Amino acid sequence: MSIPRAVAVVVHGARVLVVKRFLQRERSTACAICRGTGVAGPACPGHHYAVLVGGHVEPDETAEEAALRELTEETTLSARIERLLWTGHHNDRPASYFLMTDVVGRPVLSGPEAEENRPDNSFELLWAAPDEFAGLGLYPADVREPLTRLLDRHQGDARTPSTHTAVQITGPDQARLVRDKPVPVPADGQILARVECVGLCFSDVKLRHQFDRHVRKSPVLHDDSLRDSPSYVPGELPTVPGHEVVLRVVAVGGGVSSAVVGGRYVVQANFRDLATAASTGAFGYNFEGGLQQYVLLDERATVAADGESYLIPAPEEPSASQLALVEPWSCVEHAYAVRERRQLRAGGTVLVAGTGGPGGLDLSGSGRRLGTAEVAGLTVVEPAALAPRSVDDLLYRGSDADELERLLPLVANDGLVLIATGGGRFGRPVDVPVGRVHYQNLRIAATTSDDFADCLDAIPSTGELRDGDHVNVVGAGGPTGVMAMVRAIVSSRPKALVEGAVRNPARAAALDHRVARTAAERGVEVRLFDPETEHPRGPVDYCFVMAPVPDLIRTAIADAAGHGIVNVFAGIATDAPCPIDLDTYTVKRLYFVGTSGSGVADMRAVLAQVADGRLDTNLSVGAVSGMAGALDGLDAVRDRRIPGKVVVYPALDDLPLLDLGEMVARYPSVGPLLRDGCWTGPAERELFRVASFRHSGTS
């Protein structure tokens, strides 16, 4: 009985993936045509031909399983089966031809063909068009006609469905899985992309909870030109979360210049030129994000005013999860690398308040020089008459808590507050908008002297660690906490101490497992502790706060060493009350830094590290899911159930949320492909191989 053959038909635009062979030896015992015709050498048609990717079906597998296995073995690609195209014969063997979809990776010759590939017996992977079939000797010849018809239908990616699956947020604490969301057709200037992978972030949870109250959900100012874009969803319009993505472009509208069909991209989520009342436009907030199978992007949002695209080309070699996690890792990178303003804003508005004037500080570069008292060179104003966020630099001399609290709302985004107490004390906690440090780049520097220049001198040039800093990452067990720990370890000198505050013992164990090798290689001491029962080992030079809890800011101030830095990474709401001990902050000469998101340069830097193997973003993966488990994934992030990042593969529509242990139990063949218990590219490819046909309705 003939052994059946299973074939993987991989289509890209108007071409199909084939294996071209050219045997230059005189005779091959494996060549059926040599044996049948007696013609030997390169003149034999059997020595010079091409076939579709495929191979024989093992006794213990189905044809679908064999097609997916052969695809990965011969090309390193992974995919799922869309449907059975047809059946036929190959060398008198029954053959089944399956159309592949949601293909992941770049085709690289592998398996037996790669092992046998040499000058006298060459194998090559090619994308072949119908007019090349005859010249390549595509075998068997009777597949050429149906393949040509298939490619004609698929020209322009006709495989894109009319509907797809998405997570929609429709109101505060209201999210649903939509199975029939229409797939839009890109108009001029628009891009349609298939989402390969999306990471879930605590910001997605905050968006689900706050909805239109979220700082990034508000409308873009002067948004008339955006209102016809289906992906622009400000205010109360339903949105799709998910800003940590890698995309594959499947179609473009007229005039698109920033992306090409077939291109792979990561997305810089902060559309910095689209100002809102309190922030900027953002992918996954007031523009639909990637927690769906297809996403529409608009160059009016994704191309900056200077022509820079927020779609960053991504290499084919890294896994989809590695690339999706470039965005959160770049946010951590930006939090360290952010450059601080150490002078008054040139041409800006400065307000001098409290007692006395600016002292020796030169205000000549400021465009408007305002004061609350009669001082030479200042225009006297009543603070109550000033609009909120109209002052770029606030210079406050004094220690009246009530007065300072009235003045702080006047400071604009990217504003600088300099406080000179002259030895006075506020005497009570002062309500400081710490959330604005994170979201709006507000900065506060203070001194016990009466000289504002001392405040400027205390501002660090960047948010980077300083040589010898004792680091404490508060909330280190969470997904971004893992990233902050790794970044702190690799940035510290040997024998430095990097601590992590983790309440959950399981998370602490998982974190220790993830960072142990890196710490040992760097010679850095790592100490994890439960903040409920223990404290940092001595004063902390650099505290990274990863949880949006105002009490943690107060604790960080108490734990800090002199000249300490408190990095407010967690997104505390901008209007959340946060009374802090400003007296201690001033005496210790502490400084808050904080960032939200990242820049294109940060993402390119992290992407380069991933591409050349210096950074494996998969270290932070704790669970995987398809669309069926996406809502559960958001709940898991909210409840901190997973000691790592949750990554969603939208193509695996019905796959539930599985932590790595559960995933290995369900799909045992994936287990050996983990490295030290961590997610890998080979594990991702194997998951697609074993899970896709079971969750595609084709098994």
From CA 118, how far away is CA 204, in angstroms rounded?
Answer: 51
Q: What are phi and psi of 642, to 5 degrees?
A: -110, 125
Q: What is the pLDDT of residue 39?
A: 52
Whether the pLDDT of residue 670 is over 50: the answer is yes
Q: What is the pLDDT of residue 263?
A: 85
**Quick one: average pLDDT of 3-23?**
88
From CA 594, how far away is CA 582, in angstroms rounded?
Answer: 17
Do both 173 and 45 map to the same domain? no
Flag whether 380 is in a domain: yes
CATH of residue 303: 3.90.180.10
**Quick one: average pLDDT of 367-388?**
94
From CA 581, how far away is CA 191, in angstroms rounded?
Answer: 50
Whether the pLDDT of residue 693 is over 80: the answer is no
Flag whether 362 is in a domain: yes
Calculate the CA 122 to chain-centre distance. 40
Do both 171 and 149 map to the same domain? no
Do both 292 and 184 map to the same domain? yes
Flag whether 303 is in a domain: yes
Do both 277 and 227 map to the same domain? yes
From CA 539, how far away is CA 566, in angstroms rounded?
Answer: 12
From CA 299, how far away is CA 166, in angstroms rounded?
Answer: 22
Do both 174 and 322 map to the same domain? yes
- Residue that wins the pLDDT comparison between 155 and 535: 535
Q: What is the largest CA-CA distance in the chain?
A: 108
From CA 559, how far away is CA 317, in angstroms rounded?
Answer: 44
Do both 140 and 226 map to the same domain? no
Whether the pLDDT of residue 48 is over 90: the answer is no
Residue where one domain finishes, among candidates 116, 137, 154: 154
Other CB atoms within 10 Å distance of the CB of residue 413: 16
Minimal CA–CA distance to 570: which of 556, 550, 585, 587? 550
Flag whether 616 is in a domain: no
Q: What is the pLDDT of residue 92?
A: 85
The residues, ordered by sequence, that sit 6+ positions from 62 with a Cβ below 8 Å of its Cβ are: 693, 699
Flag whether 365 is in a domain: yes
**Quick one: average pLDDT of 266-295?**
95
Other CB atoms within 10 Å distance of the CB of residue 481: 26
**Quick one: average pLDDT of 227-251?**
96
Flag whether 584 is in a domain: no
Do both 183 and 231 map to the same domain? yes
Q: What is the pLDDT of residue 697?
A: 34
Per-residue confidence band for 691, with pLDDT thresholds at 50, 70 and 90: confident
Range of the domain at 364: 350-426+438-457
Do both 264 and 175 map to the same domain? yes
**Quick one: average pLDDT of 560-584?**
94
Q: Which residues of 240-252 are buried (b: 16+ CB within 10 A; e: fewer)?
A: bbbbbbbbbbbbb
Percent of the chain with pLDDT over 90: 73
Q: What is the pLDDT of residue 698?
A: 33
Flag whether 343 is in a domain: no
The residues, ordered by sequence, that sit 6+ positions from 169 with a Cβ below 8 Å of its Cβ are: 175, 207, 208, 211, 238, 239, 240, 241
Give the type of residue at 553: I
Whether the pLDDT of residue 155 is over 90: the answer is no
Q: What are phi and psi of 288, to 5 degrees?
A: -55, 140
Rg (CA), the chain: 30
Per-residue confidence band for 22, with pLDDT thresholds at 50, 70 and 90: low
Q: What is the pLDDT of residue 38?
A: 57
Whether the pLDDT of residue 546 is over 70: the answer is yes
**Quick one: average pLDDT of 282-288?**
98
Residue 10 near residue 77, CB atoms below 8 Å: yes
Q: What is the pLDDT of residue 23?
A: 56
Flag whether 38 is in a domain: yes
Whether the pLDDT of residue 171 is over 50: the answer is yes
Do both 210 and 138 map to the same domain? no
Do both 364 and 251 map to the same domain? no
Whether the pLDDT of residue 430 is over 90: the answer is yes
Q: What is the pLDDT of residue 12?
A: 85
* Total domain count, the chain: 3
Minimal CA–CA distance to 51: which of 9, 23, 13, 79? 9
Do both 134 and 194 map to the same domain? no
pLDDT, one tens digit per residue, over 342-362 is 999 999 999 999 998 998 799
Do both 168 and 132 map to the same domain? no
What is the pairing mode between strands 497-501 and 525-529? parallel
pLDDT, one tens digit per residue, over 600-628 is 999 999 999 999 888 899 999 999 999 99
**Quick one: average pLDDT of 79-86?**
88
Residue 646 near residue 637, CB atoms below 8 Å: yes
Q: What is the pLDDT of residue 120?
A: 57
Which residues make beta-bridge pairs with 610? Answer: none
Whether the pLDDT of residue 24 is over 50: the answer is no
Q: What is the pLDDT of residue 552?
A: 96
How high does pLDDT run on average in the chain? Answer: 91
DSSP letters, 79-114, are EEEEEEEEEEEETTEEEEEEEEEEEES-----HHHH
- In sequence order, which ranges of 161-234 are alpha helices (DSSP H)? 202-210
